[in-house]
Chain A
């Protein structure tokens, strides 16, 4: 089974500062990588995903993540955070893409990002 490690449980950062949320996974076989975000009182939403191709993937709200196979990492970054980015962020690994038949997702423990005005 896969394991996903999010080293930082809580990350406070000032508004407009950069942020990196770390994610490492265990498996060396082909995997698909995801970042989900959960805003207060809402469900988990897909933020971005790596399935294949370019190792750098971006979301519509300025986040990006880079798949690093040698380091088995998929860290999430944003150069300048906003108050509205305050949320819980979950890294997940799957043995199949979300667009395919359902596969088991393995989640990290989550990182709570708090943006300070």
Chain B
């Protein structure tokens, strides 16, 4: 199946610093990528939808100036957590939508392996 690579898998940073997370579709082109986060013991929640070449669409309650999303190519989207604080510590995961799914499954959505962010 298609592969989505997400880096880094784990990052620890100091409060006030910025952290960039990359999401790459390795063997397909993704016109749309999604960013989710999961706080401990809570559900994966959609943060934003990223479309190649245009501005991301953020879910209610997600600060767009804090969580900068760039989707400059059909294979790469980045999420930058700016001025991270301890409350931003969470599990972040991306997914990418294949613009040309293949038979027989025609599955379109593929997930990265996630990034565990810890802000000290």
Contact = CB atoms under 8 A, between A and B. Distances in A.
Interface of A: 3-4, 9, 36, 38, 41-46, 90, 98-100, 102, 104-110
Interface string B23-37: 000000000101010
A99 B43 contact: no
A9 B41 contact: yes
Interface residues of B, number: 30
B108 A99 contact: yes
Contacts of B109: 46, 98, 102, 105
A43 B4 CA distance: 8
A45 B49 contact: no
B101 interface: yes
B74 interface: no
A42 B9 CA distance: 10
Contact of A36 (B43, B101, B105, B111): B111
Query: Would you call the interface of chain A mostly helix, strand, loop, or mixed?
Result: loop
Contacts of B113: 38, 41-43
A104 B97 contact: no
A3 B42 CA distance: 11
B110 interface: yes
What are the 10 A-B residue pairs with the smallest beta carbon separation, nearest first? A44-B111, A107-B44, A43-B111, A43-B113, A99-B106, A107-B43, A102-B97, A43-B112, A109-B43, A98-B109
Contacts of A106: 43
A99 B107 CA distance: 5
